[in-house]
Amino acid sequence: MFFSNKNVLIGVTGGIAAYKSAEIIRLFKKDGADVRVVMTESAKEFITPLTLQAISGNEIHDSLLDARAESAMGHIELAKWADIILIAPCTAETISKITHGRADDLIGAILLASKANKYIAPAMNMNMWTDESTQDNYNTLLKRDLSFIGPGIGEQACGDIGPGRMEEPDKIIDFIKSTFKSGPLSGKNITITAGPTREQIDPVRFISNNSSGKMGYALADAAIEAGAFVNLVSGPVSIKANKHANLIKVNSAKEMLDKVVKSMNDSDIFIGCAAVSDFRPSGYSDRKIKKEDIKNIDIHLKKNEDILSYVASNYPEAFVIGFAAETADVNTNAKKKLKSKNLNMIISNDVSDKSIGFDVDHNEVNVITNKETIFLKKDKKIRIAREIFKIIASNI
């Protein structure tokens, strides 16, 4: 599901092509996206809010001054919520308002406040599209952070034939997918470790580290969005991997190291996000140890190979990134690891804060290199992961 973990905001404006918006929503939902819809008043003349609400599964937003929306998910919250914003159909009037930074309706205000990827699917009469004013607005927006999808060429509702038709829903979806696939890490191979490892004491008992795998799996999603090929070497977790990742399941630290070594032969970047067990039992009982058979038990431990240090030492051409989950002196300890393990980058977080880190969907981190420390404030792990890859892309 290409758009899993992605929040898509669709703006519907007043044009006959508004009926196609229902199919666009359906396709996004089918591909895993959470979809919310903003409608202009004129859009309601062409398709009912109830139709789009039923397809999206979410309440329709339509007013900048709706007190109920402001208290729950107003234009600022919607702007922060969205990963992708698509205006489809987008009329000549709306293109003009966007060009001039107008924020007198909900769509305009959201566009100004959001850092999401923004797309416009124009729909209008061919003469309106080719008019000098519209073309000036179009060329102005091309210089900004908006991507145009179409318009297509063909027969229009008025009977004219020419440019101005809104592109078909499947083409719109394919275009948006293509922009993610050709991201800043296109052509790069990345190996990411995630989750815990388990070191067996006997067939039913083990020692392990705390990790849900959510951060590592979010990194895999973000890397794939950025165009990379991803080897995801994962310990036992209960979450589902992106179907585009090369998922390699392991149990112990030794198994993880072995799979990492194989993956690193073709990898440009390594991210050690797994909570690898530092120690393993020096002995293993192939039968369950019965508690009634022993009065006390001593488990002797020996150190596991440090996977992060091993990769940094043996693959000098790779860009190597570590994670430092700390409970005190977070950045100080992280910087020590950065130098002692000869890493290119380390990402630190304070796991003593129960709202971030282990077993939750949010994180707050510092991205540390030898030159700078960049603070990424608390946000969903997938968004933190996307910001991390922006920083990685600027450093490789």
Catalytic residues: 158
What DSSP character marks residue 53?
A: H
CA 140 to chain centre: 29
Across 315-329, b (16+ Cβ under 10 Å) vs e yields: beebbbbbbbbbeee
* Residues present in the chain in total: 396
Distance CA 105, CA 112 (A): 11
Distance CA 376, CA 374 (A): 6
List the one residue out of 123, 118, 164, 181 whose CA is nearest residue 144.
118
Structure tokens that stand for 336 in this block: 């020590």
* R_g (Cα) of the chain, nearest Å: 25
3-state SS, one letter per residue, for 318-373: CEEEEEEEECCCHHHHHHHHHHHCCCCEEEEEECCCCCCCCCCCEEEEEEECCCCE
Position 279: which residue type?
F
Cβ pair 94, 131 in contact under 8 A: no
Which ranges of the chain does DSSP label H, i.e. alpha helix? 19-30, 49-56, 67-73, 75-81, 92-99, 106-113, 126-130, 132-142, 169-181, 214-225, 253-264, 307-314, 330-340, 381-395
Strand order in 7-12's β-sheet? 34-39, 7-12, 84-90, 117-122, 146-148
